[in-house]
Amino acid sequence: GGGGGGKSSAAVGEDDEDKDGAMAFDNLLSQAKSELRIGRCGTPQCRAKMNAFTSFICRHCKRRYCSQHLNPALHGCAKEAQKASLQSMKERRQPKMTDARRDRLRAKLNKTIEKKSSSRQSQKTAASSSISSTSSSSSSRRRGGGRRGARGRGRGRGGRR
């Protein structure tokens, strides 16, 4: 009879250990849930409930946040975000220009400048000859003259600035 009782007490001891292990696991799980805030925003003060459509994952800390706390500066990832931004700018930077390419572009620019200035020269000479022939007729076409006559005309709505 005494041996049977010993077995039962050992079995009870194992059950107690299993219960203690299960309780410890449950405590650990509930603690993890409260730390992870499953279904909630990652900001401790925020009480927003989230689902797949209303939650956003931070690129830097990989936590879920509501739309109000998605900005890295608002939830503590500002330094990581700044580093990532600088890194992406460095990656997008254009390579340094070679001397040959710079010379080609400089020659092209000089050619364009010469072309534009020569066209301006030709327009200037053509305009000066036409102005001298029409200067007398253009003065007779003006209305009113002076500042008073120009007010209100040609300004669209309102008339004054």
- Report pLDDT digits (tens) over 111-159: 999 999 998 888 878 777 666 555 554 444 555 555 555 555 555 565 5
8 A C-beta contact, residue 59 and residue 84: yes
Is the pLDDT assigned to residue 10 strictly greater than 70? no
Is the pLDDT assigned to residue 28 strictly greater than 70? yes
**pLDDT tens digits for range 78-116:** 899 899 889 888 888 778 889 999 999 999 999 999 999
For position 117, what pLDDT does the model report?
A: 92
For position 111, what pLDDT does the model report?
A: 97
